[in-house]
Homo-oligomer: A and B are copies of this chain.
Amino acid sequence: MSSSPHPHVAAIGLGTMGEPMAHNLLRAGFPLTVFNRTPSRADALVAAGASWAPSAAAAVAQADRVLVCLPDTPDVRSLFSASGQNLLAQMKRGSVVVDTSTISPRATRELAREAASFGIAWIDAPVSGGPEGAKKGTLAIMCGGEAEAFERALPLLRTLGQSVTYVGGPGHGQIAKATNQVILAGTYQALAEALVMAKKLGADPSRVVQAISGGAARSWVLENRGPNMLRDEYPLGFKVSLHRKDLAIALEEARAAAVAMPLTALVASQEDALIAQGFAEEDVSALGRLTRRAAGLPAGPL
């Protein structure tokens, strides 16, 4: 038995986001068991004191909290739902799944119901802030689920993020994340069109940005990704392919809820073209690339 005052955590999914999150839990003193499809991703964590589990089922069996960080809805479903590995059936009653993946709100509600039938709580807790925020523990975390379970998961959540917000019932964290990604879609695409227009009209886009930065056009995207677009370089950041996946979630939910999102559909189409042109791994600010290509601008700083 562990003498730690912290609940025992199993971390599943040790990618660009999951690995640094797991490190922060270790550092904060949470007893930690880890599992990942590619075992080598766990080496540094094991060296730092985490236990390696040979399977996801072995990882979660004794855990009080299960931290999940996987790419997409099918990944989470295939582990936890009865149609997949059915991990919920192998977990302790009273334990809490904290799913930091960005997945479908509807799938989340289904998983939360399945979990409840096993006496397990499911907190959807998608994050914003990128690998940098995951490393520093400064993520913004948008949470959905039963309020009581959220309270129990709070010490863990506060270790991972700076701004932890309880939005509402099951799936509401995922709804907040989808909202976030829809806003980003429009903000990036508008900035791309605006800067390419300024350039083609003969102005110096850097000076234009300087002139408008203090006013109503001000945004995180303008401040932090405007320089990428001006330089025609798109280092991560957040991958086009992942943002496109998130827009697919938003558009699918919107269709089910009878909401027309013409701008979101447009940006999704721009990102499809960008991905087909080989830029899936670039930062979302690469939307600027497509707009400048369409306008016949050569590569290079604007």
B-contacting residues of A (Cβ < 8 Å)?
105, 128-129, 140, 142-143, 162-163, 165-169, 171-173, 175-176, 178-180, 182-187, 189-191, 193-198, 200-205, 207-208, 210-212, 214-222, 224, 238, 250, 253-254, 257-264, 266-267, 270, 291, 294-296
If A105-B201, A186-B189 are given as contacts, then 10 extra A-B residue pairs at C-beta distance below 8 Å, sorted by A number, are A140-B211, A142-B211, A168-B204, A172-B204, A179-B212, A179-B217, A180-B215, A182-B194, A183-B191, A216-B224
CA distance A264 to B173 in the complex (A): 30
Contact of A263 among B143, B189, B205, B253 (CB under 8 A): B189
Asked whether A190 lies within 8 Å of B185 as measured between CB atoms, the reply is yes
Asked whether B295 lies within 8 Å of A207 as measured between CB atoms, the reply is no
CB distance from A129 to the nearest CB of B (A): 6
Asked whether A191 lies within 8 Å of B198 as measured between CB atoms, the reply is no
Contacts of A189 in B (CB 8 A): 186, 263
CA distance A208 to B216 in the complex (A): 22
CB distance from A105 to the nearest CB of B (A): 6
Q: How many copies does the complex hold?
A: 2
CB distance from A98 to the nearest CB of B (A): 16
Evaluate whether A208 and B186 lie within 8 angstroms (CB atoms) in the complex, with A263-B263, A263-B266 already known. Answer: no
CA distance A51 to B198 in the complex (A): 40
Asked whether B176 lies within 8 Å of A183 as measured between CB atoms, the reply is no
Contacts of A165 in B (CB 8 A): 207, 210-211
Contacts of A264 in B (CB 8 A): 190, 193
Asked whether B128 lies within 8 Å of A203 as measured between CB atoms, the reply is no
Is the contact region of chain A dominated by helix, strand, or loop, or is it mixed? helix
Asked whether B250 lies within 8 Å of A197 as measured between CB atoms, the reply is yes
CA distance A222 to B259 in the complex (A): 20
Residue of chain B at shortest CB distance from A251: B197
Asked whether B295 lies within 8 Å of A259 as measured between CB atoms, the reply is yes
Asked whether A220 lies within 8 Å of B221 as measured between CB atoms, the reply is no
Asked whether A180 lies within 8 Å of B257 as measured between CB atoms, the reply is no
Evaluate whether A198 and B175 lie within 8 angstroms (CB atoms) in the complex, with A165-B207, A263-B189 already known. Answer: yes
Asked whether A176 lies within 8 Å of B193 as measured between CB atoms, the reply is no
Contacts of A194 in B (CB 8 A): 179-180, 182-183
